[in-house]
Structure formats: structure tokens, C-alpha cells
Amino acid sequence: MNRREFIAAMAGGVILTMAGDKGGKSVSAKQLKSTTGKKTKVSLIKTPDRSSGIKRAIELLAINPVKGKDVLLKPNFNTADPFPGSTHNDTLINLILHIKEMGAKTITIGERSGPPDTSDVLRGKGIYELCKKLDVGLINFEELPPDGWVRIKPENSHWRGGFDVARPVLDSKCIVSTCCLKTHGYGGVFTMSLKLSVGVTHKRNMSELHTSLRSMRKMIAEINQAYNPSLILLDAIETFVDGGPAKGTKKRADVIIAGTDRIAIDAVGLAVLKELGSNEAIMGKKIFEQEQIARAVELGLGVKQPEDIEIITDDGHSKIYAERLMEILLKG
């Protein structure tokens, strides 16, 4: 790294160090683009049908970030527990088919599960067979060699020595995330698009995360400095309103949500949980005061306030529900 690159990296607030490199060689980080100060569109479809809901939600955004790109698709496969404990296979299939229709060059699923072995989770979910059937690649991050990980050290981070991110995530020019909507019973409070990023980090980082009870939510947000998703799909057909992340109290929302802003997606998701009626950790705190979101706002990862979010729909039923959610968002 030359002096100019070092200064640029410091200005960006992030230094990357190659994991497994004894010399501690560093590479400059890409500066993140913030969407703060702009109205961010989040599409919402009220439907129990994943096939039409996914297609409509993505098309409503009127963007095509995947055309001609090698897409890295990040699901929620922390465990193999049934949806919403993990991404529903029908969601994954329909999302892959639609991304192909949009003209993606290639699609590769990338994931690291935990605490179970990633290979066991992928096998339990039938993902090896699914990938073969749909002609989709698969990267088990847990099987990456030492040089397949990059140490990230953000400035003013709550991580003591930084955290390790799978190199394919940093190398990808197009990441599509698909997350579930659920509460998290072990300190995370909720799991949506921001917390989905925990699955791009190395398992050795989990001990520090899970024992940092006061800083855990902030540390989750800080992982998101490593990359920018090009598209986010949130499947909220069913949710956990208490418990989670593997098992919990279920309620149906019959909602598919899409967007490009992780803060906006999670804020709308929290409004859905509040509308359904959730636990005290959700109901007793304003949406933008939740630590995952508040820290993400501080880091410039998306919208700063609910007024910056515009929920778009394509039918009357969805519009009525979206208006109800905006009231909750604005009230907090």
C-alpha cells in the first residue's frame, strides 16, 4: 500500500487486512455511498403468494442492478430450521428465477451458518440439490482457506481488533440479500437485513460478538460497513414476533418487501412487527432508537429518519397496509 492509498483508506474510515497474512499486509477499502438525505423507496406487496409477490416487489423498484452481473446471493441459513427460522426455499427459488429473468450473468449463493456446520445446514435445507437443479453456484464461506478472509478494522468500532469478512463478498460487484423478519432472543433484538451480515463474517468472530452484550447491536451494524447490497428482499409472509432466531412465536404478515437501503428495510420490518404486536424489546422502543438502526444511521449506511422512507405499492390492499406502517414509522 502506497502513501496515497493509505490516506484514502484512512479517510474512508476502514482498513482491510488480509486474514492469514503474517505480514499484516493491508489493502485500501472502498468508500461507502450513503443514501442519507434522499427519499428511499421501499416496495411492499401484501400477499401470501411468494411467486407473484417477489416479482411485483422487485419490479416496483424500477431498477435492474443485476443485468449482466455475477450475482452473489446471501440468504438467511444460520440454521436449517423451518421458515422464518431460515430462508424459505420457495423464496430462494423464485428470487433466483426472477434474477435470471432480469439478465444476471451468473448467480452464486454464499453463506456461513452457525452454530451448526454450514455444510450440515446446506444439506438439511436441500441447497446442494437446489443449486444443481437451477444451475446456480454455491460458496460455503466456512470452507474458505485462510487467504479467503479479509480483516476489516473500521475506525471507532466496538470490535476490539476488527472482524474477518469472506473475500467473495468484498470482491463481488453485485450482492443480493434475502432476509427473514423475526425477533432475536439472544441480544440481537431483531434479525433482518442488517443482522444478515453476520453470516459474511468468520465463525471465530462470533465469540466476541455474542459476549459483548452491551455493544452487540452496534457491532452488528458495523459489519455492514464492509459491503453494499445491490438489492434486498425481505420475506415477511410469516414472522417471529417473539423468540427467534431459530424458533419462536409465529404470526402471519403476508408481506413481501424489497429495496436497496438496509436501514429503511429494517425500519419498515420493525413497523410490521409493531403492527402485528411483538415483544417488549420491539414494542417498548422507537424504531430509530433501536441500537442496530441508530448505529447504522451514525455510520451513514442509509436513511436517517422515517421521513426519508417512501413505501410504494401497486394495489389498494397493499396501499392501505403501507399507510398504516408509515403511521407507525412516523410515530416510532
| pLDDT tens per residue, range 281-292 | 999 999 999 999
Which DSSP state fits 172? -
| The pLDDT of residue 1 is above 90 | no
Joined grid coordinates for residue 289: 432508537
- Contact 196/74 with Cβ under 8 angstroms? yes
Q: What is the number of residues in the chain?
A: 332
Q: What is the pLDDT of residues 149-205, one digit of tens each?
A: 999 999 999 999 999 999 999 999 999 999 999 999 988 999 999 999 999 999 999
Instruction: Collect all residues with Cβ–Cβ distance below 8 Å to 233 and sequence separation of at least 6.
Output: 54, 57, 58, 91, 95, 176, 177, 178, 179, 256, 257, 258
What local confidence, expressed as pLDDT, does residue 38 receive? 66
Q: Which CATH architecture has domain 32-144+166-331?
A: 3-Layer(aba) Sandwich (3.40)
Q: Give the confidence band of 332 by pLDDT, cuts at 50, 70, 90.
A: confident
| Domain range list for the chain | 32-144+166-331
Between CA 170 and CA 96 the distance in angstroms is 21
**Residue whose C-alpha cell reads 438467511 in the numeric block:** 76
pTM: 0.89
- Contact 300/288 with Cβ under 8 angstroms? no
Q: Which helix (H) or strand (E) holds 317?
A: helix 316-331
Preceding peptide of 84 cis, ω within 30°: yes
Phi-psi map region of 149: left, alpha, beta (phi>0 left; psi -120 to 50 alpha): beta
- Contact 172/72 with Cβ under 8 angstroms? yes
| The pLDDT of residue 33 is above 60 | no
Nearest CA to 170 among 141, 195, 206? 141
Q: Rounded to 10 degrees, what is the CA torsion of 33, 176, 209, 296?
A: 30
Give me the mean pLDDT over the 307-311 stretch. 98
DSSP SS3 for 293: helix
